[in-house]
């Protein structure tokens, strides 16, 4: 694992645009999920300003078109593609990947940004719990379908968004969809974010030898649509959160929340490196006890667990996911 001292100065306050200032991504294709609003939109905007052709995926087609218009006002010369993507549906994921493939070019950057948090229990069309399906399984399927384009890029970047919520739970390989245990929406969210971290571990394990750098990002707490399922008392409690020392708020703007994703996608220091868990534009320290603020638990970087999870996911989907 990389040293936790490896990072940018004042990384917690940097914005996505500041992180990639001076970086040229002309001729590069960046695919971003959940890109119609929030962190995904800010990530796409920063990469577009750097010259990348950005391909935006999201569930709401109208919001995607609005994002395309907004981003184009900042970067008139950048190519912007959009296509509907519902990670709860395998057929939607496959249609999205076909749209990416139709460009006939490598994928230089793939950022699995989309996610849902602490929602009531519901399931995908194949019976998979919604947070696990959206935050991990849909992205695993997407990555499998796009892996030939990542390989062909030569020096591709893969970025998976997790969070400190992975401190809540590892993955229960025997009951990933809460068929045999009581559903707890926060435990389910924690499991899905651990799985998101393990996705980057698995991608690097399989594609690292082909030049693919795979990294996990904790973006920090940002006020986005991710909190739409929170109860009012939960929103109030989270609004009062402060750092463990001093009175500095833990909350970031969307532009600051997207900074670590953009750093992971563009920093030259990461070429050929992985897997690593990043936060505040730095490599996070390894911790052994949850604190729900910073650091990465060992199980989120466990290669054996990542491989076992991949096989369990194939069983859930009833299909192989080649990388």
Residues with Cβ within 8 Å of 123's Cβ and at least 6 positions away in sequence, in order, are: 129, 130, 133, 177
Give dist(CA 124, CA 164) in Å, integer.
25
Percent composition of the chain: helix, strand, coil (DSSP 3-state, to 5): 45, 15, 40
Burial of 23 (0-12, 13-18, 19+ CB in 10 A): middle
* DSSP structural state of residue 13: T
List the structure tokens of 79: 């190519």
CB-neighbour burial class of residue 99 (10 A; exposed 0-12, middle 13-18, buried 19+) = middle
Task: Tell me the sheet residues that pair with 110.
Answer: 31, 158
Question: Could you give the residue numbers annotated as active site?
Answer: 183
The strand pair at 53-58 and 80-84 is best described as parallel
Residue 272: DSSP 8-state: T
Q: Which residues contact 102 (CB under 8 A, 6 or more apart)?
A: none
Whether residue 81 contacts residue 132, with contact meaning beta carbons closer than 8 Å, is answered with no
SS3 (DSSP) at 21? coil
Q: Nearest Cα to 109, choosing from 162, 148, 52, 58? A: 52
* Residue recorded with tokens 């139709």: 102
């Amino acid at each position: 694992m990389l040293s936790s001292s490896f990072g940018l100065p004042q990384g917690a306050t940097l914005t996505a645009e500041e992180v990639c200032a001076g970086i040229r991504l002309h001729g590069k294709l960046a695919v971003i999920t959940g890109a119609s609003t929030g962190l995904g939109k800010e990530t796409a905007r920063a990469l577009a300003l750097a010259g990348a052709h950005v391909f935006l995926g999201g569930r709401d087609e109208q919001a995607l078109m609005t994002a395309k218009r907004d981003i184009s006002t900042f970067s008139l010369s950048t190519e912007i593609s959009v296509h509907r993507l519902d990670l709860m549906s395998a057929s939607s994921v496959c249609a999205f990947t076909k749209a990416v493939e139709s460009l006939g070019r490598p994928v230089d950057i793939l950022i699995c940004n989309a996610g849902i948090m602490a929602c009531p229990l519901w399931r995908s069309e194949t019976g998979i719990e919604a947070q696990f399906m959206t935050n991990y399984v849909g992205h695993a399927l997407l990555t499998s379908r796009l892996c030939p384009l990542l390989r062909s890029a030569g020096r591709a970047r893969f970025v998976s968004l997790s969070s400190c919520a992975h401190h809540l739970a590892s993955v229960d390989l025997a009951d990933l969809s809460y068929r045999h245990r009581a559903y707890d929406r926060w435990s389910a969210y924690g499991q899905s974010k651990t799985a998101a971290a393990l996705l980057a571990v698995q991608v690097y394990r399989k594609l690292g030898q082909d030049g693919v750098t795979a990294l996990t990002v904790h973006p920090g707490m940002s006020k986005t649509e991710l909190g739409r399922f929170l109860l009012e008392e939960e929103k109030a409690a989270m609004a009062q959160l402060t750092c463990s020392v001093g009175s500095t708020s833990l909350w970031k703007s969307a532009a600051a929340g997207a900074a670590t994703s953009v750093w992971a996608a563009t920093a030259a220091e990461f070429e050929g490196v992985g897997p690593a868990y990043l936060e505040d534009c730095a490599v996070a320290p390894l911790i052994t006890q949850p604190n729900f603020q910073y650091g990465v638990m060992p199980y989120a970087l466990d290669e054996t667990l990542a491989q076992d999870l991949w096989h369990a996911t194939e069983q859930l989907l009833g299909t192989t996911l080649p990388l």
